[in-house]
Amino acid sequence: MGFSLSLLAGAGLFLSAVLGYSAASPVTEHSPESEVAILTKIQITVGAEKVAATIEDNQTSRDFVALLPLTLEMEDFHGTEKISDLPGRLSTEGAPSGYAPTEGDITYYAPWGNLAIFYRDFSHSKGLIRLGQLDSGSELFKQGGGLKATIERAE
C-alpha cells in the first residue's frame, strides 16, 4: 500500500507541475484579423470630377496617406501616366525593387520621388512602387496635357 500511495502522490505532483506550467505559459492565438490589411479610401478631385481610389497597406502607402490632403499639378508623361513631385520622399522599406503598372494604378517612383497615376498599362519599371488603385475613372487622366488634382482621404 505504501508503494501505491507513493505512486499516487508522485502522479499528483507531476500533474500539478504540468498543469501549473501550461497555465503559466502564454497562449498565442492566431487571429485572422491580424493578417487583414487596412485599406485606405481616398478621393481625387479634378475640376468638378471626383474619383474614388483604394490605397494599400504598406509603409510607402502609409507615408503617402500621411501627406494628405495634397493639391498637385500633374503633367502627362509619355502618354501613359500623369506625374507630379511630392512634397517629401516616401519610405521604400519592404517595397519590391520594381513593378509593372496597369491602368488605374497609383504609384510612387522612388528614383524621382514622384506620384504617378497610370491611365495605360506599362512595362516593369525598377523603383516603381504600387500605392493603390483607382476604383474607377481612369479615363479622367487620359485627357491630354496636365491637370490639377486634389487628393484627400474619403469621408
In this predicted structure, the answer to whether residue 4 has a pLDDT above a threshold of 70 is no
Do 117 and 93 have their domain in common? yes
Per-residue model confidence (pLDDT) at position 26: 40
CB 54 within 8 A of CB 133: yes
Do 111 and 59 have their domain in common? yes
Do 131 and 90 have their domain in common? yes
Per-residue model confidence (pLDDT) at position 155: 79
More confident residue, 90 or 31: 90
Exposure pattern of 71-101 as b/e (b: 16+ CB <10 Å)?
ebebebeeebbbbbebeeebbbeebeeebeb
Per-residue model confidence (pLDDT) at position 24: 42
Q: Mean pLDDT, the chain, as a whole number? A: 84
In this predicted structure, the answer to whether residue 62 has a pLDDT above a threshold of 90 is yes
CATH of the domain at 86: 2.40.100.20
Number of structural domains (the chain) is 2
Do 79 and 119 have their domain in common? yes
Do 7 and 68 have their domain in common? no
Do 42 and 100 have their domain in common? yes
Q: What are phi and psi of 23, to 5 degrees?
A: -70, -30
Do 21 and 45 have their domain in common? no
Which residues form the domain of 11?
Answer: 2-29
